[in-house]
């Protein structure tokens, strides 16, 4: 299975939390999705039997559609609500500065750790892990599957797959210039040629 985070969005570029909200892909995000699709095509070879599953949120569906076009996979996209991004409740749509102003001291160095420990009304980490575990159980044979998801959800999915501790799951990087291969209980990062020099936002923004 290959796991892809959606391409850069307007919210990513501005450093705003998306959660269940949505924003369109930037031109950089479209370029990322196209390059990822081309690299996946080279890796998977003949596309017979391959499918793409995606979060139903617009940014993921747009990325998945671009990847489908680039790879030549003929199967229709499969939207699965279990792959959607975490809801951060009242934090959705805000920047770190906005959160600091409204809830002084609630954020630590890591937004994701702060969500798991302190978010007042977002989706709980237990609920997210439950729906992702359910998805993994339903896809034990995932050898011909490409999955398009999100920053937090994608890191937790990788962590569950590799049986990592929660703190480690929440610390996994979620770049948009590479993707991951999940096989035999292990996770391998796959760099995409040409994407590292696009001028994407700093890594701390890309983790949102």
Q: How would DSSP label each residue in 121-144?
A: SS--HHHHHHHHHHHHHTTS--TT
Rounded to an integer, what distance in angstroms lies between the CA atom of residue 128 and that of residue 189?
Answer: 23
* Catalytic residue (one of 39, 85, 123, 142): 85
* Catalytic residue (one of 6, 39, 142, 150): 6
End-to-end CA distance of the chain: 24
Check if 139 is active-site: no
Question: Interior CA angle at 22 toward 21 and 26, to 5°?
Answer: 150
**Are the C-beta atoms of residues 169 and 157 closer than 8 Å to each other?**
no
Catalytic residues: 6, 85
């Amino acid at each position: 299975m290959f796991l892809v985070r959606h391409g850069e969005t307007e919210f990513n570029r501005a450093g705003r939390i998306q959660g269940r909200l949505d924003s369109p892909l930037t031109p950089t995000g479209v370029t990322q999705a196209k390059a990822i699709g081309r690299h996946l095509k080279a890796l998977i070879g003949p596309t017979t039997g391959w499918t793409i599953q995606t979060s139903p949120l617009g940014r993921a569906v747009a990325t998945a559609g671009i990847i489908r076009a680039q790879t030549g996979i003929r199967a229709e996209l499969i939207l699965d609500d279990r792959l959607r991004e975490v809801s951060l409740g009242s934090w959705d749509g805000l920047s770190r500065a906005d959160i600091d102003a409204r809830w002084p001291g609630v954020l630590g160095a890591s937004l994701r750790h702060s969500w798991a420990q302190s978010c007042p009304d977002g989706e709980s980490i237990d609920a997210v892990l439950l729906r992702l575990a359910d998805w993994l159980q339903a896809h034990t044979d995932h050898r011909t599957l490409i999955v398009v998801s999100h920053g937090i959800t994608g890191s937790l999915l990788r962590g569950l797959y590799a049986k990592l501790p929660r703190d480690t799951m929440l610390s996994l990087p979620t770049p948009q210039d590479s993707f991951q291969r999940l096989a035999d209980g292990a996770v391998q990062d796959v760099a995409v040629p040409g994407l590292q020099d696009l001028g994407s936002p700093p890594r701390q923004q890309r983790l949102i």
